[in-house]
Amino acid sequence: MVVGDSQIVSPDNIVPSAGKSLGVESAVFSSEGNVPGGNLSTPAVRHLAKQYGISINEIVGTGKDGRVLKEDVLNYAVSKGVCKQQSLASEGNIGQVELLEEGKALLDEDFYEDKKILLRGYQRSMVKSMSLAAKVPHFHYLEEINCDSLVQLKTTFQNENKDQTIKHTFLPFLIKSLSMALSKYPMLNSSFIEETNEVVFKGPHNIGVAMATTHGLVVPNIKKVQSLSILEITKELARLHEMASQNRLSAADIEGGTITLSNIGAIGGKFGSPLLNLPEVAIIALGRIQKLPRFDDDENVYPSSIINVTVGADHRVVDGATVARFCNEWKSLVEKPELLLLHMR
């Protein structure tokens, strides 16, 4: 520093007065800067070292020209015990560390730990049934059904409904029309006994409905649908839903199913590829009803309510042609629900 008579004053000779600031905190260079005699590092790395309360000059840098890298700070912090190594299952997170705040991790260790649970009840049953079903050759048949008439009929039923405890939905109509189609194609309402190579044609139409509950997937069934009205099916379906949600289904509610409906569309899916509920030979996945453009006979575009259905069948005993004919019969009953009146008893 050059002063009055060009005399060079050593920093050691400068003594700041008690009440006067020299404009700088100290004439001695900070040990954390990139200055001669200090370690090279970026501002971000120096800031990280400061968070741990570590002097950058204490760290041996592994970068070019001895530059201190982020990894050097983290490794040094671990070696000094000011933070701990966080072991993660993901390879991209190996080496991640957590700051310690008053002796406690910022994130709980349990946040990253694997957890093991024992499957019970419905979930354990699903493991067994789906493992068996996966060994069976499936044939899947996809069809779309026009639900315009069904939408109008359901709206009429709901408008005329005087019982507030009953809520009309599409599913009871689909179940009843399915039963009608099964009467014409009983092969889809059968079961296969693999040990004896026998097919058992079931008398009652015990149509199961897959239900996702907090306790797992369960498939109760509506007994003897061919003898029930749509209103009776609606009430029984509501009862099964209520019992399933409370985990109070009886063995009788679950046993004896002959064919299964999986109404995945109630959640939001368009298509499904369901696995059989053995020993049944058929299962049907229902997509959600959606408005789509279609052409009439004069090639004019109009909006139509369309549902996609996927029929899964045991290809060991049911051929594709039978599935197609059965689906055509069911489709005609859904698209023209007035035809149900001709077959109802």
pLDDT tens digit sequence for 240-295: 999 999 989 999 999 999 999 998 888 888 888 999 999 999 999 999 999 999 99
Measured distance CA(36)–CA(278) in Å, rounded:
79
Task: Decide if pLDDT at 28 tops 50.
Answer: no
Do 65 and 144 belong to one domain? no
Do 61 and 173 belong to one domain? no
The catalytic site residues sit at 315, 319
Over range 146-155, report the average pLDDT: 92
Strand partners, 2: 8
More confident residue, 97 or 207: 207
Do 331 and 236 belong to one domain? yes
Kindly report, residue by residue over 211-228, the tens digit of the pLDDT. 988 888 889 999 999 999
Domain boundary among 57, 80, 103: 80
| Predicted local distance difference test score (pLDDT) of residue 49 | 84
| Predicted local distance difference test score (pLDDT) of residue 52 | 82
How many structural domains does the chain have? 2
Do 64 and 144 belong to one domain? no
DSSP state of 310: E
pLDDT band at residue 162, thresholds of 50, 70 and 90?
confident
Kindly report, residue by residue over 73-96, the tens digit of the pLDDT. 888 888 877 766 543 333 334 344
- Range among 20-29, 41-50, 224-233 with highest mean pLDDT value: 224-233
Task: Decide if pLDDT at 150 tops 50.
Answer: yes
CA dihedral 292→296→302→303, nearest 10 degrees, is -30
| Predicted local distance difference test score (pLDDT) of residue 157 | 86
How many DSSP H helices and E strands does the chain contain? 9, 14
* Pick from 90-104, 193-207, 213-227: least confident: 90-104
Task: Decide if pLDDT at 181 tops 90.
Answer: yes
Identify the CATH number of the domain in which residue 303 sits: 3.30.559.10
Strand partners, 115: none
Question: Is 125 inside a domain boundary?
Answer: no
| Predicted local distance difference test score (pLDDT) of residue 297 | 87
Question: Is 3 inside a domain boundary?
Answer: no
Task: Decide if pLDDT at 14 tops 50.
Answer: no
> By residue range, what is the domain housing residue 279?
138-342
**What is the Cα Rg of the chain in Å?**
37
Measured distance CA(278)–CA(258) in Å, rounded:
9
Do 192 and 297 belong to one domain? yes
Task: Decide if pLDDT at 60 tops 80.
Answer: yes
The helix (run of H) or strand (run of E) holding residue 133 is: helix 121-133
| Predicted local distance difference test score (pLDDT) of residue 129 | 87
Measured distance CA(54)–CA(97) in Å, rounded:
15
Identify the CATH number of the domain in which residue 52 sits: 4.10.320.10
Kindly report, residue by residue over 16-27, the tens digit of the pLDDT. 444 444 443 433
Question: Is 185 inside a domain boundary?
Answer: yes
